[in-house]
A = this chain, B = another copy of it.
Amino acid sequence: MVTINDVANAAGVAPSTVSYVISGKRSISPKTRRLVEDSIRKLGYHPHAGARALASSKTNVLALVVPLRTDLNVAVVMEFVASAVTAARAHDHDLLLLTKDEGPAALQRVASSAIADALMVMDVETADPRVPMLLALDLPVVLIGVPDHPAGLSCVDLDFTAAASACVAHLADLGHRSIALIGPSPAVYRRGTSYATRFLRGFDEAAKSRDVRAASRSCAHSYEAVSACLDDLLATDPGLTGLVVHNEAVLPGLLSDLRHRGLRVPEDISVIAVCPDSMAEQHAVALTNVAIPAEEVGTQAVEMTMRRLAGHTTPEVRLLGPRLTRRESTASPRS
């Protein structure tokens, strides 16, 4: 292994000088700097991460807690992770992956072993048991999602309440008077997953204020569940003309089921989805959607984390405004 001493010897300077060249924490003469940098390159020197962490109490690692369930949108999670790791690397940090399954203890472990400098936590629940623990941790923490009581933690997410509003407004503007929300699986609500709850609230409020009849159902992935859910909705209100789908996994099954029923989209029924654009464009009838800006959220999360690490201590809550793209799946209902 090539150490800082090797570099120092090769360059004919003291190890501390090499360190200062690397960190830039003291001024170095151009001559010495060049000498050292050349030696570093020639020897292929990379500082030992452990030693560095020990001496500086900084690991240059960000820990990300992801939900590895399959009942929520895998594509979105993946996109988020991808942008987070990219953003982290742009700040010279690496990404450590933790699973939600390990529970609060894992957070404790990571914090007190000094494995990471900060935590980013996905899939936050409205009353998340991890929040109190995270607060006690004295590591910078950024939540993806907004619990009921963030209480000093930074949060970032799509503004799901506004997103729901936008969906309702779009359908209401088109003239729909009876719409329904098809939400994530019951398990998601049962956990009190933050975004699901916020979306539902936004949906109900917007429907009320726009004076639109609104129903909502939770729906599992399976084809049967989707079908039963539609049966139920149509039986309850035969005048139903608009569907807001906040459950990406269900889209293919839903669309094919509608077709089976002889319901054409958008002539007989309008469908608006909350999903990534790529997914919206992928269907036979391109879907009007509110985009889930996973990439943006990931980048922002890292950005906020870095600010915290840089000393910015005040927690902030950033809610990204929804972006609705009209495509082929929504239209005015036939009167």
Contacts and interface: CB of A to CB of B under 8 A. Distances in A.
A242 B165 CA distance: 46
Interface string A253-295: 1011101100000000000000000100111100000000000
Interface stretch (A96-104, A173-181, A200-208, A319-327): A96-104
B94 A96 contact: yes
Interface stretch (A31-39, A73-81, A125-133, A190-198): A73-81
B252 A282 contact: yes
A189 interface: no
A113 interface: yes
Interface residues of A, number: 59
Interface in A215-235: 221-223
The interface residues of chain A, by DSSP majority, are classed as helix
A89 B102 contact: yes
A256 B253 contact: no
Contacts of A284: 223, 253, 256-257, 260
B86 A115 contact: no
A97 B97 contact: yes
A52 interface: yes
Contacts of A256: 252, 255-256, 259, 283-284
Interface of A: 1-2, 44-54, 59, 61, 64, 68, 70, 74-75, 77-79, 81-82, 85-86, 89, 94-99, 101-102, 108-109, 112-115, 221-223, 249, 251-253, 255-257, 259-260, 278, 281-284
20 contacts: A2-B112, A44-B108, A45-B112, A48-B54, A49-B59, A50-B51, A50-B54, A50-B114, A68-B81, A85-B98, A86-B99, A96-B96, A96-B97, A222-B282, A223-B283, A252-B252, A253-B284, A256-B259, A256-B283, A260-B284
